[in-house]
């Protein structure tokens, strides 16, 4: 694990490590996106991140640990988005109707594709299944926390049930959007989601703007 | 495309073709399930179906056309299940809470895994994306037809919107069940789905058994 003969100061070393890990993750996202996990090779990830394969193994022990970091960063970003949410359930309904709880744009599209690839891989790779379960548990926990902030009097079991409903709607929306035509029109789904939320969430925070 | 020198009668020939195609599809399902589309080779599919690779190419021009037939058969089965449904929306709600619109058991689990693999592959393979879109359009159409049978006075747009909601819930449930822990308890999700259905579907067919 020697990095150089003339060792730079610790802060510089950490900076180099962080920068290289970022570059590897960015390259891996592109390779996984284009070829799937099995089609993406360490040599290609190395070439795209302008590092040698040997250098990559200094930062990640194998392809699975790169996947782990990719998933970890996506989930960290989603948790941040959830914390930034101003606890507005109508906005959540509108975001679902608008195709994603997690914002739009190219990066989110790639996040969705990568998470779908992770899910498919998890069905035959216990290590990936464990990574996905761990990260999902964290996201789910944050969802429950968000709901308990909106409804301090809510029991945990009810918050968990509603968080699970949000998870089903979010994952289902991802699959529908990514792989199929959207048959329903945006505005109509918006109305239906607001209707559902008004029904299943307690009334006190309904904004009445439906 | 010669099959033999002493040609059997047409009905026998068709029987042989059907039986071999069935065997190839059964073998492909196992290979795709275990290794994904990229990991599964024609040689392995051939070995498992007790045919030569050359024989397989008589029935399917490439791996994608095998995938097409796998998806086609899954969707055909789902359409059949939908037609057999006695138009009971409460039962649909309970099936969703019970983890699948399409029944349980090992074969349905494999169907779900294969459809997830197809969805992931569709994000980078336009041919697979087209296969998925075509089959989904058929399933979606059947969903609309089912709803219009339950509610003859419903407008097509509303039926399409509600069919899309069922699709989102169904796909989301598949992803949640396959790859993550189910945090919500079965009974509680059942209650929430019945509550949602009672809200978004017209009242006349509510069974009142909630």
CATH number, domain with residue B103: 1.10.357
Structure tokens at B147: 């709803």
Contact B164 A183 (CB under 8 A): yes
Of B136, B171, B195, which is closest to A199 when you measure between CB atoms? Answer: B195
Task: Flag the least confident range among A100-104, A204-208, B89-93, B140-144.
Answer: A204-208
Contacts 24+ apart (CB under 8 A), A8-15: none
Quote the minimal CA–CA distance from A12 to chain B in Å. Answer: 39
Structural domain count, chain B:
2
Q: Which residues of B55-69 are buried (b: 16+ CB within 10 A; e: fewer)?
A: ebeebbeebeebbbb
Quote the minimal CA–CA distance from A132 to chain B in Å. Answer: 7
Structure tokens at A36: 């799937």
Residues of B in contact with A157 (CB under 8 A): 185, 188
Of B43, B60, B77, the residue at which a domain comes to its end is B60
The whole-angstrom separation of Cα A60 and Cα B125 is 29
- Please determine, for residue B1, whether its predicted confidence score (pLDDT) is greater than 80: no
Q: Are residues A91 and A145 in the same domain?
A: yes
Q: Are residues A99 and A152 in the same domain?
A: yes
CATH number, domain with residue A42: 1.10.10.60
Q: What is the pLDDT of residues B100-124, one digit of tens each?
A: 888 777 888 899 999 999 999 998 8
How buried is A92 (Cβ within 10 angstroms: 0-12 exposed, 13-18 middle, 19+ buried)? buried
Q: What is the pLDDT of residues B32-81, one digit of tens each?
A: 999 988 889 999 999 999 999 999 999 999 999 999 999 999 999 999 88
| C-alpha closest to that of A131 among A140, A121, A141, A143 | A121
Quote the minimal CA–CA distance from B58 to chain A in Å. Answer: 27
Q: Which residues of A168-203 are buried (b: 16+ CB within 10 A; e: fewer)?
A: bbbbbbbbbbbbbeebbeeebbbbbbbebbbebbee
Q: What is the pLDDT of residues A146-199, one digit of tens each?
A: 999 989 999 999 999 999 999 999 999 988 887 665 555 666 788 999 999 999
- Matching residue, tokens 């109508």: A90
Of A36, A167, A181, which is closest to B120 when you measure between CB atoms? Answer: A36
pLDDT in the model for residue B182: 53
Is residue B120 within 8 Å of residue A119, measured between CB atoms? Answer: yes
Structure tokens at B44: 């392995």
Contact A179 B34 (CB under 8 A): no
Residues of B in contact with A183 (CB under 8 A): 140, 160, 163-164, 167
Q: Are residues B115 and B46 in the same domain?
A: no
Structure tokens at A164: 């699970």
pLDDT in the model for residue A2: 46
Q: Are residues B161 and B191 in the same domain?
A: yes
Of A129, A172, A199, which is closest to B168 when you measure between CB atoms? Answer: A172
Report which of residues B184 and A87 the model is more confident about: A87
Quote the minimal CA–CA distance from A67 to chain B in Å. Answer: 15
Residue B167 belongs to some domain of the structure: yes
Of A179, A181, A183, which is closest to B163 when you measure between CB atoms? Answer: A183
Residue A208 belongs to some domain of the structure: no
Q: Are residues A130 and A104 in the same domain?
A: yes
The whole-angstrom separation of Cα B210 and Cα B204 is 15
CA A178-B69-B62 angle, to 5 degrees, is: 95
Q: Are residues B53 and B68 in the same domain?
A: no
Contact A120 B122 (CB under 8 A): no
Of A38, A39, A196, which is closest to B196 when you measure between CB atoms? Answer: A196
Q: Are residues B54 and B92 in the same domain?
A: no
Residues of B in contact with A136 (CB under 8 A): 179-181
Q: What is the pLDDT of residues A83-92, one digit of tens each?
A: 887 778 888 8
Domain ranges, residue A182: 67-202
Q: Are residues A89 and A163 in the same domain?
A: yes
List of residues 6+ apart from B92 with CB closer than 8 A: B85, B101, B166, B197
pLDDT confidence of A39, banded at 50, 70, 90? confident
Residue A1 belongs to some domain of the structure: no
CB pairs under 8 A between A and B: 164
Residue A93 belongs to some domain of the structure: yes
Quote the minimal CA–CA distance from A34 to chain B in Å. Answer: 6
Quote the minimal CA–CA distance from B87 to chain A in Å. Answer: 21
Tell me which of A99, A120, A134 to substitute to probe the interface with B (most B C-beta atoms closer than 10 Å): A120
CA B102-B104-B109 angle, to 5 degrees, is: 90
What mean pLDDT is predicted for residues B183-189? 67
Contact A196 B192 (CB under 8 A): no
Q: Are residues A78 and A53 in the same domain?
A: no
Residue B188 belongs to some domain of the structure: yes
pLDDT in the model for residue B206: 44
- Please determine, for residue B153, whether its predicted confidence score (pLDDT) is greater than 80: yes
Q: Are residues B69 and B155 in the same domain?
A: yes
- Please determine, for residue B207, whether its predicted confidence score (pLDDT) is greater than 60: no
Q: What is the pLDDT of residues A47-80, one digit of tens each?
A: 999 999 999 999 999 999 999 999 999 999 999 8
pLDDT confidence of A139, banded at 50, 70, 90? very high
pLDDT in the model for residue B49: 96
Query: Under the phi-then-psi rule, with left for phi > 0, alpha for psi from -120 to 50, and beta for the rest, what region is B184?
Result: beta
Is residue A181 within 8 Å of residue B136, measured between CB atoms? Answer: yes
Q: Are residues B186 and B156 in the same domain?
A: yes
pLDDT in the model for residue B100: 83
| C-alpha closest to that of A121 among A32, A37, A190, A209 | A37
Give the DSSP H/E element, type plus range, for residue B40.
none
Q: Are residues B191 and B89 in the same domain?
A: yes
ipTM of the complex, rounded to two decimals: 0.86
| C-alpha closest to that of A91 among A76, A106, A81 | A81
The whole-angstrom separation of Cα B28 and Cα B24 is 6
pLDDT in the model for residue A99: 80
Tell me which of B179, B188, B201 to substitute to probe the interface with A (most A C-beta atoms closer than 10 Å): B179
Give, in order, the Cα–Cα distances in Å from A138 to each of A157, A210, B99, B138, B172: 16, 32, 22, 37, 18
Contact B161 A113 (CB under 8 A): no
pLDDT in the model for residue A167: 92
Smallest CA–CA distance from A159 into chain B, residue:
B184
Structure tokens at A92: 């959540």
Of B40, B60, B80, the residue at which a domain comes to its end is B60
Residue B207 belongs to some domain of the structure: no
| DSSP structural state of residue B51 | S
Report which of residues A104 and B133 the model is more confident about: B133
Structure tokens at A20: 């290289």
Query: What one-character-per-residue DSSP string does B118-182 give?
Result: HHHHHTT-HHHHHHHHHHHHHHHHHHHHHHHHH-TTS-HHHHHHHHHHHHHHHHHHHHHHHHS--
Give, in order, the Cα–Cα distances in Å from B121 to each of A36, A40, B39, B42, B125: 8, 14, 12, 17, 6
């Amino acid at each position: 694990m020697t990095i150089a003969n003339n060792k730079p100061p610790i802060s510089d070393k950490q900076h180099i490590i962080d920068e290289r890990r970022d570059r590897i993750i960015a390259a891996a996202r592109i390779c996984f996106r284009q070829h799937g996990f099995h089609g993406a090779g360490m040599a290609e990830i190395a070439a795209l991140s302008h590092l040698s394969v040997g250098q990559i193994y200094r930062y990640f022990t194998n392809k699975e640990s790169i996947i782990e970091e990719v998933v970890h960063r996506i989930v960290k970003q989603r948790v941040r988005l959830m914390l930034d949410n101003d606890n507005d359930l109508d906005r959540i309904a509108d975001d679902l109707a608008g195709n994603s709880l997690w914002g739009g744009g190219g990066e989110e599209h790639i996040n969705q594709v990568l998470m779908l690839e992770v899910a498919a891989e998890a069905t035959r790779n216990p290590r990936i299944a464990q990574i996905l379960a761990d990260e999902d548990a964290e996201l789910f926990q944050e969802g429950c926390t968000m709901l308990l902030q909106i409804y301090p009097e809510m029991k945990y079991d009810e918050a968990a049930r509603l968080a699970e409903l949000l998870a089903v709607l979010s994952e289902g929306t991802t699959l529908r959007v990514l792989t199929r035509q959207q048959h329903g029109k945006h505005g109509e789904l918006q109305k239906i989601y607001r209707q559902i939320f008004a029904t299943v969430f307690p009334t006190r925070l309904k904004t009445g703007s439906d």
